[in-house]
Structure 1
Amino acid sequence: MKTTKMKNRMMLFSTVLLGMAMATSACSGSNSSSGTNGSQVKQENGEKETKGEKKVLKVAFFQGGFGDAWFKELKSGFEASHENVTVELEGDPGIMEKMGPRFESGANLPDVAFLTNTHWQMWAAQGYLADLTDLYEGQDSDGVTIKESLNEAAQKYALYQDKAYNIPWSDGVLGMAYNKGMFEENGWEVPKTWQEFADLAEKIQAKGIAPIVYPGKVASYWDFVVKPMFVQAGGFDYLNEILNIDNPDVMGNQAKLAALQQFEAIFKNNWTLKGSEALNHTEAQMEFVNGKAAMIPNGNWLESEMKASTPEGFRMAMMPVPAVEGAKEANVYFSMVGDITVVPAKAKEQELAKQFIAFASSKEMNRKFTELTGNFRPFNYSLEGVQVSEFTQSVMDIMSNNKPFTFNSNNPMFTKMTLYPSGDAYGNIVFGSKTAQQQFDDDLAFAKDKWDAYKKEVGME
């Protein structure tokens, strides 16, 4: 919905993006350039490109919570200013499982791929990704670069060994969604701490409702709750230690134990819907919108992903993850910067692909993304005048009033170790095969045991 407070709350998204060089006349009226045999054809007064051979640009994308409406807008807009170009879209919810083998074989490659969060640095190190530094740093006709337009977290995430190999393409909040209608009907306050959550959970259970439903078949959704607790407990200093891990003792920080123990408390107190362990993410979300649970670990794509299945009148919102006891950083949120736009090193139309990415990064296309999906791009752009839902407004409020963090790292040792090197912490704790303390101890012992071998394996010794 549209609110009168939006302008003030969205200072975070102040307009610094002046319009990319590739913005088409259909979207911004600015000049654009073509990929015709390496030459640039200046577009003026809304004229379409008419020179050059006919080309096909293959664009693959993860088709999930964001849907495909924005990609269809990109296709029509880009084709409108490139008369000789046809954009072929490949939307696939299973694209992530398929891209690795396609990179390795070099067969059936797209020219541009919009992918979800992955260890893309490995692809860059293996030579599978095209260097996009010229696109990332090069100025357009207005003197604006993608680097200048991206927010700080996204700027850092684009780089590997001082070169840009991806352009991040989505942003938002990973955390906990709640049934706002249910909360208001019962007079429940959104908990700011886990002690407040514990008190609230008893009230929810007294109504015969489960406090939380979760997708047990997609355990990584618990990251959206547990990782904020890591940062709350240890602060940004601990986050930096984890991301730039230079010795195995980093695994022994008590902040990690505090986060795991609070996660363990969720199950010790039976705060989850019975049977959640057997649900995939869609099934868990269905239980949530059907009122079987008051909250769900999720991201800001939830509303758009469940749009067709949400009962009329159902109201949802995002809330900050409750703070752990003694938090060093209580007011933080997990930014979902991490989804990537890449060009395969063996792509046929690399220059045209770069133009397409620049067009997708334009101010109008960023605004269009939010308008069509209710989600966000990792660019600094204005949303003034864009109507958003109550759910999207709640996400905007979190982003405006809390400090963002990500768990993105270019450190190969972090990639190798991960947070839980000794095994699946969530599964172990949920099913009782390990306590939080045992998981913590095993992770530290594993890190010490494997440290020297892993250093050699990643080429750091």
Structure 2
Amino acid sequence: MNDRFPPSRPGRRSVLAMLALTPVAGALAGCATGGSRQSPAAAPTGSAQAGNPFGVASDAPLEVVVFDGGYGQEYIKVPLDLYRKKHAAAKITQSATQQIQQSLQPRFVAGNPPDVVNNSGSNAIDYGALVGDKALLSLAPLLTAPSWSDPAVTVGDTLRPGVVQVGTHDGQFVVLNYSYGAYGAWYSTSLFEEKGWTYPQTWDDYLGLCDKMATAGIAPWTYPGQFPYYMFWWLASLIYKAAGPEVIDKINNLAPDAWTDDRAVAALRAFEAIPANGWVLKGSSGLNHTDAQMQFLNGKAGFVPGGSWLENEMGDSVPKGFDMAICRAPSIGKDDVKPFGSLCAKAGEPYVIPRSAANTAGGLEFLRAMLSTEGAENFIAKAGTLSSNRDAKPPKDAKHGLTSIDAALKEAGDNVFGITVDTRDSRLWKDIANLMGRFMNGDIKADQLAKQAQSLTDKARG
């Protein structure tokens, strides 16, 4: 469930963590809550009424545990204050840890978990076990409750596309992913302005631009060969643009003809021109993520794959006036299913309410406060990434990359998609990503990538 971010923010790169589970984590994965079928505790409640839709008892204690990662803890203070103002008699305890599983799994087993858990990072409690044990409270009531900032609008109506779908397991919405990130590739708008280049909307124009870059001594592409899964989002974006959600759904659900669908193969064949023309920076196969991003920032490459975190991750290394922006997938052909401006985007930074928590009503109320416009805009300002609340706006002094993502999401509307192979089968994700690395190196062609990815998918499906 975690979005894939850099090591400084472990929740972002859960892919690697999932591939290298410690013996302790592996042993506990099958017994997240002791193997029992959890029943909700008798949570103290008051009367549901205007301003208190879940009937939170005024003096019921509330405990919130936050993952101590790159987002920090500052962002949680505003929703805590909002909750405190409405429930002044309640004792509120908030703590943070990077050892979510180690510190909280025993409490799940004992039946006394916190009321709200930010189950994120490389030491998150296994979601498969939590769902299998029915240890998580359904968050469906949250969706129909009046939003904190505008009671005339439900909380569900304030959420960005895909938030509910990503948090739904076995037909139940049980995970609220609070952040919202875009994935794909990046370019420098200031470089484009300097060279007189315009970001292309068609694939032919895209290839023409890459040729101009190469002529100017700039490699059109670089990528982190040590972490080739970065290419997954951009190649998937081309597939979504050409084929729409049907093929992406097949990829996510490990369907028998996912990668070998003619439309998916056509998109991969289009991108094959990049490595075939020698338009990948030499040595990219040996780069890690920050190395590749530095090549991009130093003007050695025109495009680099990545997600919303890139600008913050590189910090002071980003040259003044670089003005990076998220790329939109150009049109592959006239029969494309989705319009220009479609985007790979997904909610992350998961929050859950344990079913056996003492104050489940208070947990729902706290999530409602988090999703307030005030709470969400504070999160954007403090964390440097968007919130799953679609009404929350970046601050006026937001960095260029963040404002470009916000604008791109507005342009995309509902034409967004997410890749979930990583959370469904981390080994498959890694194996297909390795094929994409070979594809970028020119070692295999598009047809081979599609055939071998499908073979791996069929094997993983069983």
Tell me the distance in 2 between the aligned counterparts of 1:150 and 1:139: 13
Which letter maps to 2:209?
Answer: L
Tell me which amino acid in the other structure corresponds to 1:406: F
Alignment of 1:89-168 (within 5 A): 89-90=96-97, 92=98, 99=101, 103=105, 106=108, 111-113=116-118, 115=120, 120=127, 123-139=130-146, 142=151, 144-168=153-177
Secondary structure of 1:369's partner? helix
* Percent identity (aligned): 24
Question: Of the candidates 303, 312, 336, which is equivalent to residue 304 of structure 1?
Answer: 312
Q: Using the alignment, how far apart are the partners of 2:299 and 2:104 within structure 1?
A: 41
SS at match of 1:428: helix
Q: Deviation at 1:159?
A: 2.4
CA–CA separation in structure 2 for the residues paired with 1:134 and 1:274: 53
Distance in 2, Cα, partners of 1:237 & 1:43 = 42
- Per the alignment, in what secondary structure is the counterpart of residue 279 of structure 2? coil
Corresponding residue for 1:187?
196
Alpha-carbon separation, structure 1, partners of 2:427 and 2:387:
29
Correspondence list, 1:293-372, <5 A:
293-326=301-334, 327-331=336-340, 332-344=342-354, 350-372=360-382
Which residues of 2 match residues 35-434 of structure 1 at below 5 A? 38=45, 52=59, 56-60=63-67, 63-64=69-70, 66=71, 68-74=73-79, 84-90=91-97, 92=98, 99=101, 103=105, 106=108, 111-113=116-118, 115=120, 120=127, 123-139=130-146, 142=151, 144-243=153-252, 248-326=256-334, 327-331=336-340, 332-344=342-354, 350-381=360-391, 383=393, 386=396, 388-402=398-412, 403-407=414-418, 424-431=434-441, 434=444
Conserved in 2, the CA contact under 8 Å of 1:123 and 1:129?
Answer: yes
Please, what is the CA RMSD of the aligned residues?
A: 4.2
Structure-2 residue corresponding to 1:438: 448
Report SS of the residue matched to 1:306. helix
Output the CA distance in 2 between the equivalents of 1:360 and 1:84: 18
Distance 1:103 1:431 in 2: 43
Q: What CA deviation, in whole Å up to 9, does each residue of 1:20-77 have, x standing for no partner?
A: xxxxxxxxxxxxxxx9955589999xxxx9975876532225x34x555423544565
Q: Secondary structure at the match of 1:343?
A: coil
Q: Distance in 2 between matches of 1:373 and 1:423?
A: 28
Separation of aligned partners in 1, 2:172 and 2:348 = 16
- What secondary structure does 2:316 align onto? coil
Shift of the 442–213 alpha-carbon distance from structure 1 to 2, 3 Å rule, reads closer
Q: Determine helix, strand or coil for the equivalent of 1:307.
A: helix
- The one-letter code of the counterpart of 1:275 is G
**Which amino acid in structure 2 is aligned with residue 439 of structure 1?**
L
- How many residue pairs get matched? 404
- For residues 352-384 of structure 1, what are the alpha-carbon distances to aligned partners after superposition, in whole Å with 9 as ceiling and x for unaligned? 443332211112112222334443222231539
Question: Structure 2: where are the runs of 5+ without partners?
Answer: 1-41
Cα drift, residue 341 of structure 1: 2.0
Q: How many angstroms does 1:339 deviate by?
A: 4.3
> Alpha carbons of 1:109 and 1:434: their partners in 2 closer, same or farther (altered >3 Å)?
farther
1:243 Cα deviation (Å)?
4.6
Paired with 1:356 and 1:287, the residues of 2 have a C-alpha distance of 43
**SS in structure 2 of the partner of residue 208 of structure 1:** coil
**TM-score computed with the length of structure 1 as normaliser:** 0.72
Structure 2 length-normalised TM: 0.72
Match of 1:354, SS state, is helix
Contact 2:137/2:353, CA 8 A, preserved across alignment: yes
Larger CA deviation: 291-300 vs 346-355: 346-355
Which runs of no fewer than 5 residues in structure 1 stay unpaired?
1-34, 455-461
